[in-house]
Amino acid sequence: MDGCGGPRDHQQTEHICGRPLGLCFDETHGDLYIADAYMGLLRVGTQGGLATKIVTHAQGIPLRFTNGLDIDQSSGAIYFTDSSSQYQRRQYLSVVLSGDKSGRLMKYDPVNKQVRVLLSNLTFPNGVALSKDGNFILLAETTRCRILRYWIKTSKAGTVEVFAQLQGFPDNIKRSPRGGYWVGMNSRREKLSELLFSYPWIGNVLLKLPLDIAMLQSTLSKYRGSGLAVRLSENGDILEVFEDNDGDGLKSISEVMEKDGRLWIGSIALPFAGRYRI
């Protein structure tokens, strides 16, 4: 698309150009599926090229903030989130301050090309990760600083429970080859956020004031602490903590992928990936 290429700041045009937040390959067919914040669920074939829109609505409601996804490689089913039905990604602070509960977890079946809403009324649903045995899916509920477990199989199928309560705001979830799950966290839950979440009316008042939300987001990001991620066990216990105490600038960690004894670290605020030897 014209005006969307090249090394430039796309924050002012991302709602036009799109912003991919979640990626996963269908290992059977080789297709790459993309959760694009503005374009919905997309697919790119094995030869690359322009992405094709697969899902843009669910139950008649447009996807406004498509975020994370994972694929059940045995069935091809795609599980993905829409963080808000009210706000777009560039308005993410409004999602947090307003206490918006319009997020959804969905399942797309590539065989019958149907999408189904599995959970609704979620508070900023974010990253998702399927368990190794495919019995459940983990879901980050960012604003509430917790990980939910939605059961797909077993006698608990269709039920949801709290898997882990965290001291920070979780983003993406990835399985670890050593067992468990890595959860990247945008920042710790500080006293200011505790105040806002205890009294939601404060956030709604702030949104009604003549403030530049983009500038407020930029200002708040300067006060975030060091980058943080945790590895959770299959039972939701913390097994390992990664924190950038050396000051390498790894703030607002969005994702941690473990491979061959190294952690590959992404951030929503940085134009590069970090690498750390375990």
Q: Please compute the mean of the pLDDT values over residues 240-251 and round it to a whole number.
A: 77
Q: Please compute the mean of the pLDDT values over residues 230-246 and round it to a whole number.
A: 91
DSSP summary character for residue 159: -
CATH superfamily of 14-277: TolB, C-terminal domain (2.120.10.30)
Pairing of strands 57-58, 32-36: unpaired
Look over the chain and give the mean of its residue pLDDT values, rounded to a whole number.
88
Six token digits for residue 43: 């697919």
pLDDT in tens, 24-62: 999 999 999 999 999 999 999 999 999 999 999 999 999
Six token digits for residue 241: 């903590």
Domain ranges of the chain: 14-277
Tell me the pLDDT band of 117, cut-offs 50, 70 and 90.
very high
Q: Please compute the mean of the pLDDT values over residues 74-97 and round it to a whole number.
A: 91
- CA–CA dist 259, 277 (Å, integer): 10
Sheet-wide strand order for 40-44: 20-25, 32-36, 40-44, 52-55
Q: What percent of the chain has pLDDT over 90?
A: 68
Residue 67: φ, ψ to 5°: -130, -80
pLDDT in tens, 152-184: 999 999 999 999 999 999 999 999 999 999 999
